[in-house]
């Protein structure tokens, strides 16, 4: 990336607003011209400052946008220019079609940004137009040095300070393919563990605030003023879809703590927010984004890192994982009559579609995709406590998922880095 190149992105889009983000080429003011596509006469100009203290990053929420409208924007700073586009969400009463992509896990296990050609999957993703991209965690592997032959320079270190976390995050964001994707569609990003260090628990991790700051610096997220570190949030996309994005890291208890009512992955406030939001949502489909999978055991047996506490055969282990909280959430959703519930995950480095049937009268789905570019995993026995049924599973390939929501049907496709559709599944709403 040249020193005079701007990085840009749009994210956290609603029916009437969006967050515009940029990394400038020097300290000072960044100017943005924004207009509905094909209607430049309605253009408006906004600006925000970028400072060396923020690694030249800045962002601004723009409001009073028109729903279900494609916008184009041009970002300028002195002689540097970059252009992007995004589409606003339909109004909550509109049964409009919505399509999104999701995946996670970028640049881990030696699969760092190549010096030539960049990450191979993003040009493929550009062949699948969507309204937005859910980047479901491990947006960077800041805790693992990238120093192998053929890797782009500047990332051969383990991040421990804020400048280092920013440098590692910037290293991935400078990939030309990722830049092109973020100029084409908006993004909702959330972290997992490698934005700080492997399997970290935020409640006891001293580096958590540092990694969180770098994450916030480099993604178009504007937390509430009263909670400047908050990452969990929701987004309504018309009558058919509402998305709930979880922060499974910041508030979690230690992984090694024995499971029980006092152990939490979400923290009390986020748990109440999730229950209240999902159970009161009037959207047809409720999609919960969790960087930790519900049914795939991860981490060491004595300190499971995901929701599941199962052993390598899928049988429950007493005291492991975050099962009490997980099952309590699911029980509440069932008792309150939540239908058409889907969890979207990444993290385990393989693709899988699962239908869980934890109760005779209630079921839900879990969709897993990834990695974008990281060590390739493989399917493994699922947590039998959820009574899971795998619809499709595949490892050994970089991949992403696509969900299309239309009146009367939801279609999910798992797609590999060549653009081949590995599996398609359709679900009708209950």
Which of 164, 93, 102, 77 is CA-nearest to residue 413? 102
Q: Retrieve residue 244's tokens.
A: 């709930």
Half-sphere exposure (Cβ direction) of 348: Cα atoms closer than 13 Å = 32
Span 147-165, pLDDT tens digits: 999 999 999 999 999 999 9
Strand partners, 390: 354
Which of 192, 252, 186, 194 is CA-nearest to residue 219? 186
**Could you tell me the maximum CA-CA distance found in the chain, to the nearest angstrom?**
64
pLDDT band for position 41 (50/70/90)? confident
Which of 61, 55, 47 is CA-nearest to residue 23? 55
Place of tokens 């700073």: 77
Among the ranges given (47-51, 85-89, 145-149, 394-398), the one the predictor scored with the smallest mean pLDDT: 145-149
Span 203-217, pLDDT tens digits: 999 999 999 999 999
Q: Retrieve residue 265's tokens.
A: 């992955």
Instruction: Answer whether residue 1 shows pLDDT above 70.
Output: no
Which of 231, 207, 210, 208 is CA-nearest to residue 219? 231
Note the Cα 161 to chain centre separation in Å: 24
Span 97-133, pLDDT tens digits: 999 999 999 999 889 999 999 999 999 999 999 999 9
* Angstrom distance (rounded) from CA 230 to CA 233: 8
Span 375-409, pLDDT tens digits: 999 999 999 999 999 999 999 999 999 999 999 99
| Range list of H helices, 112-161 | 121-125
Provide the 10 A C-beta neighbour count for residue 381: 16
With 0-12 / 13-18 / 19 or more C-beta atoms within 10 angstroms meaning exposed / middle / buried, residue 227 is exposed
- DSSP for residue 65: P
Q: Retrieve residue 160's tokens.
A: 């421990």
Which of 337, 382, 379, 341 is CA-nearest to residue 361? 337
Quick one: how many helices (H) and strands (E) in the chain? 6, 22
Superfamily designation of domain 89-427: Alkaline phosphatase D (PhoD) (3.60.21.70)
Q: Retrieve residue 367's tokens.
A: 């969709």
With 0-12 / 13-18 / 19 or more C-beta atoms within 10 angstroms meaning exposed / middle / buried, residue 261 is exposed
Strands 98-103 and 399-406: antiparallel
Q: Retrieve residue 297's tokens.
A: 């055991």
* Angstrom distance (rounded) from CA 240 to CA 251: 30
pLDDT band for position 92 (50/70/90)? very high
pLDDT band for position 4 (50/70/90)? low
Instruction: Answer whether residue 3 shows pLDDT above 60.
Output: no
Instruction: State what percent of residues in the chain have pLDDT above 90.
Output: 97
Span 165-193, pLDDT tens digits: 999 999 999 999 999 999 999 999 999 99
* Rounded average pLDDT over 345-372: 98
For the domain made up of 1-88, the CATH class stated in words is mainly beta
Span 217-267, pLDDT tens digits: 999 999 999 999 999 999 999 999 999 999 999 999 999 999 999 999 999
Instruction: State the chain's mean pLDDT as an integer.
Output: 97
Which of 296, 298, 212 is CA-nearest to residue 249? 212
* Rounded average pLDDT over 73-88: 97
Query: Do residues 254 and 302 touch, judged by C-beta distance below 8 A?
Result: no
Per-residue pLDDT at 109: 87
Domain boundaries, the chain: 1-88, 89-427
Span 277-314, pLDDT tens digits: 999 999 999 999 999 999 999 999 989 999 999 999 99
Phi and psi at residue 304, to the nearest 5°: -55, 140
Radius of gyration for the chain, computed over Cα atoms and rounded to the nearest angstrom: 21
Query: Do residues 229 and 209 touch, judged by C-beta distance below 8 A?
Result: yes
- Asked if the bond preceding 371 is cis, omega within 30° of 0, the reply is yes
pLDDT band for position 40 (50/70/90)? confident
Per-residue pLDDT at 212: 98
Note the Cα 286 to chain centre separation in Å: 16
């Amino acid at each position: 990336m040249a020193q005079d190149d701007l990085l840009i992105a749009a994210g956290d889009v609603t029916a009437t607003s969006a967050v515009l983000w940029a990394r400038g080429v020097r300290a000072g003011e960044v100017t943005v011209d924004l207009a509905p596509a094909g209607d430049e006469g309605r253009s408006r100009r906004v600006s925000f400052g970028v400072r060396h203290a923020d690694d030249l990053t800045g962002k601004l929420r723009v409001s009073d946008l028109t729903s279900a409208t494609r916008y184009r924007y041009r970002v300028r700073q002195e002689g540097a220019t970059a252009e992007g586009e995004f589409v606003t969400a339909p109004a909550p009463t509109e049964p409009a079609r919505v399509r999104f992509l999701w995946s996670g896990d970028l640049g881990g296990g030696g699969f760092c940004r190549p010096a030539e050609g960049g990450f191979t999957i993003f040009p493929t993703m550009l062949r699948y137009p969507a309204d937005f991209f859910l980047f479901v965690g491990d947006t960077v592997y800041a805790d693992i040095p990238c120093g192998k032959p053929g890797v782009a320079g500047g990332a051969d270190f383990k991040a421990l300070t804020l400048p280092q976390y920013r440098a590692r995050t910037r290293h991935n964001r400078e990939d030309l393919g990722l830049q092109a994707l973020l100029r084409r569609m908006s993004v909702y990003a959330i972290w997992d563990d490698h934005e700080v260090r492997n399997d970290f628990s935020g409640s006891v991790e001293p580096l958590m605030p540092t990694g969180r700051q770098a994450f916030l610096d480099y993604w178009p997220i504007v937390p509430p003023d009263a909670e400047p570190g908050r990452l969990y949030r929701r987004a309504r996309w018309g009558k058919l879809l509402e998305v709930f994005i979880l922060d499974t890291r910041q508030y979690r208890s230690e992984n090694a703590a024995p499971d029980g009512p006092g152990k939490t992955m979400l923290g009390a406030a986020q748990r109440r927010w999730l229950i209240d939001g999902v159970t009161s949502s009037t959207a047809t489909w409720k999609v919960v984004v969790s960087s930790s999978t519900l049914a795939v055991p991860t981490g060491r047996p004595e300190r499971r890192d995901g929701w599941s506490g199962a052993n390598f055969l899928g049988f429950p282990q007493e005291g492991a994982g975050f099962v009490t909280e997980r099952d309590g959430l699911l029980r509440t959703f069932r008792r309150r009559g939540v239908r058409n519930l889907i969890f979207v995950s990444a993290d385990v480095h393989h693709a899988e579609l699962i239908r869980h049937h934890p109760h005779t009268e209630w079921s839900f789905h879990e969709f897993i995709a990834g990695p974008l570019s990281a060590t390739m995993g493989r399917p493994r026995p699922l947590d039998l406590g959820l009574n899971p049924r795998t619809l499709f599973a595949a490892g050994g390939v970089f991949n992403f998922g696509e969900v299309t929501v239309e009146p009367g049907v939801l279609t999910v496709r798992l797609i590999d880095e060549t653009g081949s559709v590995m599996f398609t599944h359709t679900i009708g709403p209950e």
